[in-house]
Amino acid sequence: MKTDLIIFDLDGTLVNSIPDLTDSLNYVSHLRNHNKFTEDRVKSIVGGGVSKLIEDAFEINKNDEDFQEIFSQFLLFYKNNHSKRSHLYKNVLNTLEHYKLKKLAILSNKLDVFTKQIVKDFGIDKYFDIVLGATDGIARKPSSEPINHILKKLNISADKAIMVGDSEPDIITAMNAGITSVSVTYGYRSKEQLAKLNPNFMIDELTELKTIIE
């Protein structure tokens, strides 16, 4: 298909961030005498941003009195450790290089400051026209608002854009914005979980984008 813009999710699509997220949650867990988290457990609840991750991990609500303290403890550790054990997935660099003449963007529910820093840490910031994480004033995935924001900024129509991600918010956001969705099956959700949402395409390796995008 003719595509002028490829929007990538970050965690679970370009970067495996589960090790550092798990370490950060377990730092807080240790402070609070809570049970340790496994990487599989963290993988199952990640995707909605830091607030949602903390709510699900510690089974609390953001309105609970302990929430802000846990949130602050998590951020304190994560800001110094977000790229310690995380790593790029296979074929990320050669795929970005292959499409470097197209418009490329990152759209993540991770806080914007961390999204931008992690992209720099792994040396892939040079490929992207826009890197957008969770930002005040712009709704998060699965709202169509962040995709519409990117389309407007880059002056590209929805029918010429594609969203590549690994989880439910990515598929639903693409649907809400009227753009094509591609789900990768190597990330944080199983092929069966993704198939239930009927993405336009599913791929097992990032290089398979070449069979979809001209």
- Catalytic residue set: 9
Q: Which two tokens stand for residue 143?
A: 């709202």
Helices and strands of the chain, counted as H and E runs:
9, 8
Residues 40 and 55: their CA atoms lie apart, in Å, by 17
- Spatial contact of 183 and 206, defined as CB atoms under 8 Å apart: no
Half-sphere exposure of 75 (CA within 13 A, CB side): 14
Residue whose C-alpha is closest to residue 147's, from 167, 177, 170:
177
- 3-state SS class at 11: strand
Chain centre to alpha carbon of residue 92: 14
- Spatial contact of 162 and 178, defined as CB atoms under 8 Å apart: no
